[in-house]
Amino acid sequence: MDLEELRAFLDVVETGSFLAAADSLGVSRTTLRRRVEALEARTGVPLLKSTTTGIVLTEAGTVLARRGRIMMQETNALLTSIREVGRAPSGVLRVVLPVGLPPHLLAPLFTLLRSSYPLLRVHARFSDDPLGESLEDVDMAFQFGESPPKGPWLTYVLLRVRERLFASPEYLRQHGTPTSVEALREHELLTWEAPGEDPRTWPRVGGSRFTVEPTLVATDVHLVRTCCLAGQGIALIPSVELADPDTPEPLVPVLPDQVGRDRPVSISIPEALSEIPKIREVLGHIRRFLAPL
């Protein structure tokens, strides 16, 4: 397949018009049309059709657009890996992270990467559901869980955290410590809403679940943890064994033998990028940094 033809087609798809795509690529609209028509001639089926609202994909065009983006990513990754052979990691590392990772965990990791690779820049964005959005321009995607994204990705489990109940000492002094799952009904309950899960059913250690009525449900783990630290209630959150800064008393586990489960934290990398030195070295640093946790 001719890469210029494929790039022309994908630009038309992304911009929604031949004119905008021609401007984006810096070619004439006539040249762009010829490239797309040549690609349609190769495939033997129409890929685009014009409507009153603009250019839309045919069924065949939809399939090609989805696979074509992966092909372009793999091609760019191959060229990048060749250019970076023997060089220290540099350029931009594009990362997507789940909302709510504690800043006092991320800041030392960023410091480590900067001190190890001074030519490397990090572009981090946060998402309630990192694998539920477009990952076309992502080098690394972190998530709670280990299900891989759709497409050719490699997924590695970095660590397993215990998701369990916590409360501040002050909250327990004021409201008492529950001694059973049934006693939780008398308490303020805070919970993290994990992607694709019902936050109103909590896990028992044995594997079954029970229903609760939380006063706070949030997709941001850090918000739930902060409210828990402030004495607002008992929270079901993943636990990373790090001291919370500026907190005189650490959170106290509640019903640790009755409520909770293990939850993996994993990282996914496009297979096409896995051999790029920058990606390999950064992944190694991240895994060594998290190993003690």
How much is the pLDDT for 160?
Answer: 85
Q: Determine the CATH number of domain 161-263.
A: 3.40.190.10
* Interval 143-186: pLDDT, tens: 888 787 777 788 989 888 889 999 999 999 999 999 999 999 99
Domain boundaries, the chain: 3-72, 161-263
Q: Cβ(270)–Cβ(77) under 8 Å?
A: yes
Provide mean pLDDT across the span 268-292. Answer: 82
Q: What band does 105 get if pLDDT is binned at 50, 70 and 90?
A: confident
Host H or E run for residue 156: strand 153-167
Tokens 């397993």 found at: 160
Residue 39: how many other CB atoms lie within 10 Å? 22
For residue 280, give the nearest of 89, 87, 111 by alpha carbon.
89
Q: Cβ(235)–Cβ(166) under 8 Å?
A: yes
Residues near 125 by beta carbon (within 8 Å), at least 6 away in sequence: 95, 96, 97
Residue 55: how many other CB atoms lie within 10 Å? 18
For residue 264, give Cα distances in angstroms to 105, 145, 161: 16, 5, 6
- Contacts of 126-133 with C-beta under 8 Å, sequence gap 24+, read 126/96, 126/97, 126/98, 126/99, 127/96, 127/97, 127/98, 127/99, 128/98, 128/99, 128/195, 128/219, 128/220, 129/98, 129/195, 129/196, 130/96, 130/97, 130/98, 131/195, 131/268, 132/195, 133/96
* Interval 113-148: pLDDT, tens: 888 888 888 999 998 888 776 676 788 889 888 787
Name the residue with higher pLDDT: 89 or 290: 290
What is the pLDDT of the chain when averaged over all its residues?
85
* Interval 50-79: pLDDT, tens: 877 778 888 988 888 888 877 777 677 666
* Interval 190-245: pLDDT, tens: 999 987 789 999 999 988 999 999 999 998 888 999 899 999 999 999 876 555 66
Give the number of C-alpha atoms closer than 13 A to the C-alpha of residue 184, restricted to the C-beta side. 27
Q: Cβ(234)–Cβ(191) under 8 Å?
A: no
How much is the pLDDT for 165?
Answer: 95
Which residues in 225-235 are b (16+ Cβ under 10 Å) and which e? bbbbbebbbbb
What's the topology of domain 3-72? Answer: Arc Repressor Mutant, subunit A (1.10.10)
